[in-house]
Amino acid sequence: MALGRTAMAAELMIELDETPQVWTTEALLSHPQIRDIEIADDVSYKRSMRYRAVPARTLLEGLAPGDHLQVIALDGFAAELPASILLASEGARAWLAVEDTQYPWPPLAPGRPSAGPFYLVWSDPAASQISPEQWPYQVSRIRLQAPVAQRFPQLLPAPEAGVEIQAGYAAYQRHCMACHRLNAAGDATFGPDLNIPHNPTEYFSGDFLAQYIRNPQSLRRWPQGRMPAFTEAILPVEELNALLAYLQHMASHKVPVPQDMPHN
């Protein structure tokens, strides 16, 4: 969507029980708690941005802190989020930014659309260590889900796996699962599967996988590449090492390749 072009009105579906709620752009812009907010360091736009936004927790009535949510974007990105961080009234605060059709947001990059129609943004994200994958844009659906371990047991490390591998499993859920599947497990359709047919630890030698995670463009110069750089501020060294240990562990715990899965 080019800057200045009128955005299309949209609908957001929120599924917390058997009766989904559907919010239109117009309804959200008329919400009694909508306000102007400024996000000082927007993850997607890489600069300060101003939005009309609704506190996320006001749209999630009836949700308990121990619940688990999935936020799905139009491009197949599927962020897994604990309800506790969305319901918090202290520390980082979650907001649903709403793109006004009369004042569309700028494109994320030349030739790309904006972050609208709906974008989950955070004020004071560092207070709760909110990662970039927890800023889903082009949101179309928010739904209550069972915990990841219950839905996708093929992601679980072997019972004998040590503490570091277990920590890596948690890091995978936090940083990777919004874009990737592993062992064909997950709901994201954005990036490739990280274990079948091949795990990246099987074809990245030496420190190249760690380097790729830190800065994908440093190994593969690709202007269209959409994997972000995971700096130490986002993914500390100890957490990166745990993630690599988990991936290496899972390379020896593959599931059979589904018949309908492309071999890429």
Domains and CATH numbers, the chain: 11-145 (3.90.420.10), 148-250 (2.60.40.420)
> What residues form DSSP beta bridges with 141?
13, 72
| DSSP letter (8 states) at residue 210 | H
Structure confidence at residue 185 (pLDDT) = 92
The pLDDT score that the predictor gives to residue 225 is: 59
Orientation of helix 237-250 relative to helix 163-175, angle to 10°: 100
Please list the pLDDT of the chain residue by residue as tens digits (264 residues): 333 334 567 999 999 998 999 999 999 999 999 999 999 989 999 999 999 999 999 999 999 999 999 999 998 888 999 999 999 988 999 999 999 999 999 999 888 899 999 999 999 998 888 888 899 999 999 999 998 999 999 999 999 999 999 999 999 998 898 889 999 998 888 889 999 999 999 999 989 999 999 988 887 766 665 788 888 888 899 999 999 999 999 999 998 866 655 444
Q: Which single residue is written with the structure tokens 């927890």?
A: 134
In sequence order, what E strands does the chain have? 11-15, 21-24, 35-39, 49-55, 68-73, 78-82, 93-98, 118-123, 139-145
